[in-house]
Amino acid sequence: MIDLYEPKFRSRRLILREGYSEGVVRRIAKASGWDELAKRPADARRNVALTVIWEVIPGLTVSYYYEPLAEASCLIIRSTRDKAEIREVERLLNQTTVFAGDEDLLSSAATGVSSCERALALLRLGLGGPVNFDQRYFDQLASGADDPDGKIRLAAIRGITYTEWPQFRPLLGQLADHDPVRSVRKLARQVLLIFDALGLADKSASRGCGGR
Task: Report which residue type is found at 22.
Answer: E
DSSP secondary structure letters along 149-168 = SHHHHHHHHHHHHHHT-GGG
Is residue 194 within a helix (H) or strand (E), and if so which, with residue range? helix 182-197
Give the pLDDT score at 208: 43
Give the per-residue pLDDT at 207: 42
124 close to 154: Cβ distance less than 8 angstroms: no
- Look at residue 41 in the predicted model and tell me its pLDDT: 87
CA distances from 192 to 91, 125, 130, 187 (A): 35, 19, 20, 9
Choose which CATH entry (3.40.50.12280, 1.25.10.10, 3.90.1150.10, 3.40.50.2000) describes domain 102-208: 1.25.10.10
Predicted confidence at residue 205, as pLDDT, reads 45
Note the pTM of the prediction, 2 decimals: 0.87
Kindly report the length of the chain: 212
Give the pLDDT score at 110.
Answer: 80
Residue-wise pLDDT tens digits, 55-101: 999 999 999 999 988 999 999 999 999 999 999 999 999 998 999 99
Phi–psi pair at 19, nearest 5 degrees: 100, -15
> What pLDDT is recorded for position 8?
81
Q: Which of 112, 129, 103, 182 minimizes the C-alpha distance to 1?
A: 129
* Domain coordinates in residue numbering, the chain: 9-96, 102-208
* Burial of 182 from C-beta contacts in 10 A (0-12 / 13-18 / 19+): exposed
Residue numbers of the chain with a pLDDT score lower than 50: 1-3, 205-212
Q: Are strands 60-67 and 72-79 parallel, antiparallel or unpaired?
A: antiparallel
Q: Identify whether the C-beta of residue 55 lies closer than 8 Å to the C-beta of residue 34.
A: yes
Q: What confidence score (pLDDT) does residue 49 get? A: 81
CB 201 within 8 A of CB 164: no
* pLDDT value, residue 209: 40
